[in-house]
Amino acid sequence: MARTLKLVSGVEPAMVWHADTELPAGTDLVVVPGGFSYGDYLRCGAIAARAPIMDAVRSHAAKGGLTLGVCNGFQILCEAGLLPGVLMRNAQLRFICRDVYLKVERSDTPFTRGYNAGQVIRVPVAHGEGNYIADGETIARLEGEGRVLFRYASPDGMIDPNWNHNGAINAIAGILSEHGNVLGMMPHPENHVEAALGRTDGRGLFAGMVEHLAKAA
C-alpha cells in the first residue's frame, strides 16, 4: 500500500504505529491497509479498532478527511464504527485468493473519479472473512443513498450470484460513509497498479484520490 501511494502521488507516506495517539500534522488521507491485525482470531478488526491511534482516525474522518480501509482495514473501520455492518466468514467457509471483477457504481466520489460509472475493473482479493452483512434497514439506507460503491460482478458487469465470491449481501464489495469521505472495500486495488506486474485496474482509485486532494488544496 505504501509503495502504491508513493508511486501514484509522488509523496512518501508517513507510517503510523497502532500505539500512536496522533496523526502527522497536515494529514489529508488515512489508509488502513489489509493484512492481519492482533486479535483477528477473536473477530477480524475487533482489537485493532480499539487501538489508541483509532481515536485520531475517527477525528480525522469526522472532520471530513479522506479515509480508506482495504480488506482488514475495511473490517477495522466497521468495528470502529466508521462504517456500518460487519464482515463475516465467506459463504463457503474458505479463504479466497484470486482476481475478481468489480462493477463501479458511481464515478462522482473522491475514490472513483478515476473510473466511469458502470465500468468493470479486475483486482485481487485475499480474505477469509469478506462476507458483508448488515441489517435490512442499513442495507436499504446504503442502497437508497448510493453508498454501495463496488459490487462483485461478472466480467461483463452482471450482478450474478456465481460471481459473488464470498456471499456478501447484494454482492457488496465496498461502501461509503454517510458523508462520502470514508471508503471500505475488501478487494486490493493497490496490488494492480504497475504494468510490470500485470494489470493496472486499481490505479484509477489512487489517481482519483490524488486528483481530488490536489483540487481541494
**Annotated catalytic sites, by residue?**
71, 188, 190
| Cβ-contact 134, 169 below 8 angstroms | yes
Task: Give percent above pLDDT 70 in the chain.
Answer: 100
pLDDT value, residue 164: 97
Residue 20 falls within a domain, yes or no? no
Residue 5 falls within a domain, yes or no? no
Residue 23 falls within a domain, yes or no? no
pLDDT value, residue 43: 86
Question: 45: domain CATH number?
Answer: 3.40.50.880
Residue 17 falls within a domain, yes or no? no
Residue 7 falls within a domain, yes or no? no
* Mean pLDDT value of segment 188-200: 94
Domain span at residue 147? 29-216
* Mean pLDDT value of segment 130-148: 98
Residue 189 falls within a domain, yes or no? yes
Which residue's C-alpha cell is 488521507? 29
Who contacts 127 (Cβ-Cβ below 8 Å, separation ≥6)?
A: 34, 71, 72, 87, 90, 95, 96, 166, 186
Condensed to tens digits (0 to 9), the pLDDT of residues 50-69 reads 999 999 999 999 999 999 99
Total domains, the chain: 1
Residue 111 falls within a domain, yes or no? yes
pLDDT value, residue 198: 87
Residue 120 falls within a domain, yes or no? yes
